[in-house]
């Protein structure tokens, strides 16, 4: 079904769309970026959860088509996003780690930037891993080439699964997205704070900016801000939604 939907070459016509979720600065609640997220309403099967279609797409080699659609749409939407927030903001786009070992990613990124006119300095590629990166040397080369264009690289889901400390040794990244399991101060406050504080210290040493994921409650936001985390993302600040539903979120009061 997914192959049929993508075979047409126009994912939007097959029910794909792009949602955006704000990434917020803890200190003043300002939205500094949005993450673009693929959504699919199949004309045949109805709403398909992204975890489902992304993993199917990765196993069947179709994920590049989805990633490129989201990349193109997000770059095109950058002008509207700047109008909504009153200033240019960063746009995060997910890239399957499998693509770092394949040809064509650099061309896709350069092409999407050229067609949209979006400056490379506003684009952040989030490397999302579901399997171990096959060849870390090739991946590091691709990442370096992308960074040479002025694009920034984020390591997604850091601290869970395959996204471990060793990746920071091998890959030159600009941003780390702290996985929500580490930021859950509601369940294990002392351990979560210690883990977040330690990752922040490492990232500060490496000149890497940290975004805390899964900020659902004011207590998580305050704990992360307290340990010095600059940026956060989660349902507290805004659910992923279509472009027209984006608005400035407000930080909860102390």
The stretch among 111-119, 132-140, 212-220, 243-251 that binds ligand G (CB under 6 A) is 212-220
- Using left for φ > 0, alpha for ψ between -120 and 50, and beta otherwise, residue 139 falls in alpha
Binding-site string for Na ion from residue 209 to residue 228, where x marks contact by CB under 5 A and - marks none:
----x---------------
- Collapsing DSSP states into helix, strand and coil, what is residue 1? coil
**Computed from CA positions of residues 103, 108, 111, 117, in that sequence, does the dihedral angle turn out positive or negative?**
negative
Nearer to ligand G, 31 or 94 (CB): 94
Residue 248 φ then ψ, to 5° = -65, 115
Write out the residues near Mn ion by the rule CB under 5 A.
94, 126, 156
Query: Helix, strand, coil: what percent of the chain each, to 5?
Result: 45, 20, 35
From candidates 161, 216, 222, 230, binder to ligand G by CB under 6 A: 216
Assess 90 for contact with Na ion (CB under 5 A): no
Choose the one of Mn ion, Na ion, ligand G, none that binds residue 67, judging by a C-beta under 5 to 8 angstroms depending on kind: ligand G
Return d(Cα 124, Cα 35) in angstroms, integer: 9
- Collapsing DSSP states into helix, strand and coil, what is residue 8? coil
Asked if 29 and 13 count as a contact pair (C-beta separation under 8 A), the reply is no
The stretch among 9-17, 48-56, 196-204, 222-230 that binds ligand G (CB under 6 A) is 48-56
Ordered alpha helix ranges (H), the chain: 2-7, 50-60, 63-85, 105-116, 136-148, 165-170, 189-205, 218-226
DSSP β-ladder status, 46-48 and 16-25 = unpaired
The stretch among 8-16, 25-33, 82-90, 234-242 that binds ligand G (CB under 6 A) is 234-242
Assess 184 for contact with Na ion (CB under 5 A): no
Contacts to ligand G from residues 87-106, by CB under 6 A: 94, 96
From candidates 14, 23, 38, 251, binder to ligand G by CB under 6 A: 38
Assess 157 for contact with Na ion (CB under 5 A): yes
Q: How far is the CB of 187 from Mn ion (least distance, A)?
A: 22
Nearest CA among 90, 166, 158 for reference residue 127? 158
Nearer to ligand G, 205 or 210 (CB): 210
Assess 126 for contact with Na ion (CB under 5 A): no
Residues that bind ligand G in the complex, under the rule CB under 6 A: 21, 37-38, 50-51, 54, 63, 66-67, 70, 94, 96, 128, 156-157, 177, 180, 213-216, 234-235, 240
């Amino acid at each position: 079904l997914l192959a049929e939907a993508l075979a047409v070459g126009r994912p939007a016509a097959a029910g794909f769309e792009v949602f955006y979720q704000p990434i917020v600065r803890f200190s003043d609640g300002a939205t500094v970026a949005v993450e673009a997220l693929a959504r699919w309403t199949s004309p045949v099967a109805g709403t398909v959860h992204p975890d489902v279609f992304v993993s199917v797409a990765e196993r069947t080699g179709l994920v590049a088509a989805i990633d490129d659609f989201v990349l193109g749409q997000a770059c095109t939407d950058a002008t509207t996003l700047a109008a909504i927030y009153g200033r240019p903001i960063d746009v995060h786009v997910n890239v399957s780690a499998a693509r770092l070992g394949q040809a064509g990613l650099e061309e896709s990124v350069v092409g999407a930037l050229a067609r949209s006119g979006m400056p490379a300095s506003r684009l952040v590629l989030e490397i999302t891993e579901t399997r171990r990166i096959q060849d870390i040397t090739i991946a590091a080369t691709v990442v370096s080439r992308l960074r040479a264009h002025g694009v920034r690289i984020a390591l997604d889901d850091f601290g869970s699964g395959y996204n471990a400390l060793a990746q920071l040794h091998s890959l030159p990244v600009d941003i780390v997205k702290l996985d929500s399991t580490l930021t859950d101060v509601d369940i294990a406050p002392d351990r979560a704070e210690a883990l977040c504080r330690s990752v922040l210290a490492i990232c500060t040493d490496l000149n890497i900016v940290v975004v805390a994921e899964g900020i659902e409650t004011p207590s998580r936001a305050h704990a992360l801000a307290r340990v010095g985390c600059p940026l956060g993302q989660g349902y507290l600040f805004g659910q992923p939604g279509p472009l027209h539903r984006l608005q400035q979120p407000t930080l909860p009061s102390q």
